[in-house]
A and B are shown apart, each in its own frame.
Chain A
Amino acid sequence: MYISEQNKRGWRLLGVPFIFAIFLLAVPIATMTALSFWTQDYLTLIKTITFENYKQAWFQPVFQTLFARSLLISITVTFFTILFAFPIAYYISFYGGKRKALWLFLITIPFWTSYLLRMFLWKVILGYNGVLNSFFEWLGVITEPLTFLLYNSNAVVLALVHGWAPFAILPIFVSLEKIDRSLLEASNDLGDNSFNQFFRIILPLSMPGVIGAVLIIFIPCIGDYITPKLVGGPEGLMIANMIQVQFSKANNAPLAAALSVTSLLIVGIIALAFVFLNRKYLKNY
């Protein structure tokens, strides 16, 4: 009786949001998946099931390169962001004292500028006539503007690392905060110096935060459209740019759908892998 009452009340609340999610999430994903098995001849859809789009998406060198580059850029971005974020989170958590909240607030402030503008600013900074080049010329360090700054994968990585840093700092900070300080005293008491302590206690116990940060950064990065379009140049384009092109200019929605489904699969597999990893790390808690 009690359970069924709970059931009724629970679903009465959850019903509307759930139906909303079905119509705006499940149905669209299903439609897109269906579309990916069809073909398009200019503006008419041919609704016979074919694997042609996937054959292209998976085996044509252009798309392979784009997938590989997207993955590589995302991995690099994730790696550097965490490398960058960890010391900051560590500092705030262990040396922040009573001003931890203020520190965190200070870190998030620059990120409330529009994402679009932040990424665009990197174009302004790194460009041929940009801030950095003009600044260096003004200083007299260089005579010719540097051209290797903009329009390549490195520029994309730099902009993304900068853009996603706070999203890595926050979860790592939270997991560092959760570490019971008496564990650190205990490890000290049992003979650890600070170096040992970091690798034996702090790093393993902050893993849930690190894994969370990886997940939070990696997924949006792999599907990022704005950054490669603005600062990537032809050498730095990623899969999202291709999806957009196929959808609009190339007028090949089914191929765009196949590329999207493939990205979705990659993201899904990676997300599952991390959830599994996290569970393994969390097992002992």
Chain B
Amino acid sequence: MIKKNSINKEKIVDLISIEKSFDQVKAVNNVCLGINEGEFFSLLGPSGCGKTTLLRIIAGFEKPENGDVFINGKNVNFVAPNNRPTNMVFQNYAIFPHLNVSENVGYGLRNTNFSKDQILKKIDGALELVGLKGYNKRASSALSGGQRQRVALARALILKPRVLLLDEPLSALDKNLREQMQFELRQLQKSVGITFILVTHDQTEALTMSDRVGVMFNGKVDQVATPEQIYNKPKTKMVAAFIGNMNFFETECKGENSKTITVFHKDLGNFKLFKNNIFGRKNPKLTVGIRPENLKINSKNLKRQSKSFTAKIVEKSFMGDTILFSINLSGNNNNTYISVSDIKNSPNPNIGDEILVTFEEEDVVAYYKE
């Protein structure tokens, strides 16, 4: 294991070779991750992937078995949570039930040297920041889910942490409120300028809110990138499958030059893959991924790079803003999906119709078989 001596000053949080297991199961497996000062960073992954454990390691609630945690350039391996420049918004908000809103928000200030007047002023300020002005004396039991979340936010932000940690803060809210809070959280982060690290299993949440996203599976961080990169160029097959919808095809390598690899699929025929769209360790077998929206039906403006094949529609589902067509290709147990979003201006075939499907070679990502 390599121990780093000099720490990148721009990284507010730097995790180096972090390992943590529970009952012999590796929850976090050799994770290295740097988070930049002032960014909105999301840890995204299915439940049990270790993202919450990683967040709790940053907060200091879990001690890693191996590795180092640097916050603001300082090694905090042996610093207790109460002495770290981080604060946390808990998944269930952890609002103290015996204290009212003011007492909850001002909780951490009691451990500082501020005078009573200063504390009261700061509480008012924090409540205003989260849109709960005048709720000071409200009992915590009388708060709605959204209000509880705001109190939890104010309670953490009032301490001016260097990093705010958010553990699935929106999962307890209903859909409309969740969307509103996504927007507000983003605005809040911009206005206070504090680094936010958000843990979520909701990809929309992660993609819409974050500057950068880290996608985790089985205790490992598979990819750290901007939301666009994550969506358009998922680095592993698991990321590709987890984010959005992806049609996968098993192909075989037929030829190679400096920039591209030519592969063959029974239905799709021969087509080229760009090497910067291929990930993994070299292997003659490749799994190819094409997003449903990158497959076009009976398209008229065919380019030179466009590839095409014919198929029969087996299913059609109206999704509101899009229509999802299913076609069945050999060598693929699952249906292949084609998503059409511009419903008005697109051809609208029916089940049983024979269609021409086209795609652009540059939109295809591929993964060498393990």
Contact = CB atoms under 8 A, between A and B. Distances in A.
Direct A–B touching in the complex (beta carbon < 8 Å)?
yes
Contact count band on B: 20 to 34
B97 A191 contact: no
A182 B94 contact: yes
Contact count band on A: 20 to 34
For the residues of A in contact with B, the DSSP-based class is helix
Contacts of B61: 185, 188-189
Interface string A190-218: 11110010001100110000000000000
A180 B92 contact: yes
Interface in A173-188: 180, 182-183, 185-188
B97 A190 contact: no
Contacts of B91: 182
A183 B96 contact: yes
B61 to A, nearest CB: 6
Contacts of A283: 139
Given A180-B92, A284-B141, A204 B98 contact: yes
B111 A205 contact: no
Most buried by A among B82, B88, B99: B82
Contacts of B90: 182, 185-186
B108 A191 contact: yes
Nearest to B100: A284
A136 to B, nearest CB: 47
B141 A285 contact: yes
Nearest to A184: B94
B171 to A, nearest CB: 14
Contact of A190 (B98, B100, B139, B155): B155
Interface string A246-285: 0000000000000000000000000000000000010111
Closest 6 CB pairs of A and B: A190-B108, A191-B111, A186-B94, A182-B94, A188-B81, A189-B88
Interface of A: 180, 182-183, 185-193, 196, 200-201, 204-205, 281, 283-285
14 contacts: A183-B94, A185-B61, A188-B82, A189-B59, A189-B87, A191-B159, A192-B111, A196-B111, A200-B110, A205-B97, A205-B98, A281-B98, A284-B100, A284-B141
Given A188-B61, A189-B81, A281-B98, 18 more contacts: A185-B59, A186-B90, A186-B94, A188-B81, A189-B61, A190-B155, A190-B156, A190-B159, A191-B83, A193-B82, A200-B107, A200-B110, A201-B96, A205-B98, A283-B139, A284-B140, A285-B97, A285-B141
